[in-house]
Every structure is written in structure tokens, then in C-alpha cells.
A = this chain, B = another copy of it.
Amino acid sequence: MNKIFVASDHAAFQEKQLLVGELRKIYEVVDLGTHGPESTNYPEWVKLLVENVRREQSLGILLCGSGIGVSMAANRYKDIRAALCRDEDDARMSRLHNNANVLCLSGRKTPTELLKRISSVFLSTEFEGGRHQLRVEQFNLLGE
């Protein structure tokens, strides 16, 4: 497993700190920020995380208050498949069926213990391929 990159805005700062601490027990984790509770703009964190995930061909985790803002922004990038996951089933299915490479989490709505379990499932599940490969290829062609 390559390095895991993690970033959040201020609204999920505390939860990101706790999650990074937990993931470091198993994975090599690069915490890109934010590094304090001051207000920041989530698109800046998305851009930084995507640059790192692309360079290392790795997986990433993004957090904001709801997880919705970061998931919208990350999917702007053609080779990023960012899945907003609220439970372990979401994490499993988004890897199995959508080949998601960025996990988006809600710092405000998802309890920290569940954030850890969702992340563990996401990082340990492989893409299933098959009929889902066609669908991933199809939506890789979408955009503009």
C-alpha cells in the first residue's frame, strides 16, 4: 500500500486529527492540513490532496463539515473518483463498484469511531471490475 493522503477544512479539523492518529497505527499517512481551527476554504484542500494522490497513484481521504463540498470539488478532476461515505457499506461499495480513489467524510455528522471504521473498509477493499469496469470507463468520458 502506498502512502495515504488526508486533508480537511477547519470544520472537520478535530476529527481529521483523530482519524490521522488512528490510521498511522497501520498506514503511512501524510497529513496535508489544515493544521488549525481557523476558517479555510475547502477547494484549496481538495486541490492539494488531488495533486498528491495523482503523483503517488495512491488513495486519499478528504473531510469537511458534511463531506458534500469536498466530494463535489474532487470529482472535478478526470482521474479522481471521490465517494462521500457515511457508513461502511458505502465504503465497501464505492471501492468494489466505483473504484473510488478518494474517500470523502463528514466531520460534523459521522461519529469519530465510525470515521475510523469507514476508512479501514475503504483502504482494504479492492475494485471488483467486470460490468463495473464499463461504467467507470463510461463516466471517465463525461465532462466539459
A interface residues, Cβ below 8 angstroms from B = 41-44, 46-47, 65-66, 68-69, 71-73, 75-78, 81-86, 89-90, 93-94, 97-98, 100, 109, 134-135, 138-139, 141-144
Minimal Cβ-Cβ distance residue in B for A135: B41
A86: which B residues are within 8 A, CB to CB?
Answer: 86
A69: which B residues are within 8 A, CB to CB?
Answer: 97-98, 135, 139
Q: Determine how close the nearest CB of chain B comes to the CB of A46; give it in whole angstroms.
A: 7
Oligomer: number of copies = 2
In the complex, the answer to whether A93 meets B68 with C-beta atoms within 8 Å is yes
In the complex, the answer to whether A75 meets B75 with C-beta atoms within 8 Å is yes
Q: A41-B135, A43-B139, A76-B139 are in contact. List 5 more A-B contacts (CB 8 A).
A: A43-B135, A43-B138, A43-B141, A44-B138, A65-B93
Minimal Cβ-Cβ distance residue in B for A83: B68
In the complex, the answer to whether B66 meets A94 with C-beta atoms within 8 Å is yes
